[in-house]
Amino acid sequence: MKKFSFLLWLLTACCFAFGQSTPLKPNIALKWAPTGIVFGNISLQGEYNFGKSSLTAKIGFPFNKHQTFQFNNRDANFTMRASSFLAGYRTYLSKKHMKGLYLEPYFKYVHHTSEGSGNTVLDGDRVIMNFTNDYNGAGIGAQLGVQFLISKKFVIDFFFLGPEINWARNNFKAVENTNTLAWNSVKASEAEQDIRDFIDQFPFIRNKVDIMVDQANKTVLAHFKGALPGYRIGISFGFAF
């Protein structure tokens, strides 16, 4: 009987102590970044916190995103897809758990592909050009952001200052599929100029692209390899537990 009374007292004391203890703070967060949709990417993020620091990771899954660009002053329709990975080490500058201002160095990798078509005129003939593009880039950067933790569960992560540098390789291919005859010198020259004008829409790579023309196969190839600056900005939403 004495043993039973002692066990009952011990159980009651433990339950009372547990009820009076401070609730456990969340140290894991799962988030979704809607800004990735713009580039054909569904981005899921994870964060594991230990004290004032966290390990972060982001995986981007590709899906088809339609986008329109200007080619020879006409709309060119593209379908884009992107796969990505990011890993970072986050340090919270505030003294609050998993919230407040933070600094996060990171490494990222992106593989982006796109396909499209556009209309142009070569030596007086209306033609259709089919496009394919393949981009691979890996880089490092550091982002400054602020995270809000609402009711210790709902997470809003806003990263607003993230300069980065990437080492990138990009291959662009344009093929005419309207006629069967090879290009003459005039068509080849005009096709090359159309592609140069198209690429000039995109900053940082203009005037840094090697362009080759294959008259027999009615093809223009544009190749870029080198360093590219970048900027990371966005917002994500999720839950902490």
pLDDT for residue 21 is more than 50: no
Q: Structural domain boundaries of the chain? A: 24-240
Per-residue pLDDT tens digits for 41-79? 999 999 999 988 999 999 999 999 999 999 998 999 999
**CATH architecture type of domain 24-240:** Beta Barrel (2.40)
Closest CA to 139 of 106, 90, 103, 170: 106
- What is the DSSP code string of 20-64? HSPPPPP-EEEEEEGGGGGGTEEEEEEEEEETTEEEEEEEEEE--
Buried b / exposed e across 48-86, counting CB within 10 Å, b at 16+?
Answer: ebeebebebebebebeebeeebebbeeebebebbbebeb
- Taking only the tens place, the pLDDT of each residue in 132-158 is 999 999 999 999 999 999 998 999 999
Residue 15: band (very low, low, confident or very high) from pLDDT cuts 50, 70, 90: very low
- The pTM assigned to this predicted structure is 0.84
How far is Cα 118 from Cα 203, in angstroms, rounded to an integer? 21
42 has which bridge partners?
Answer: 61
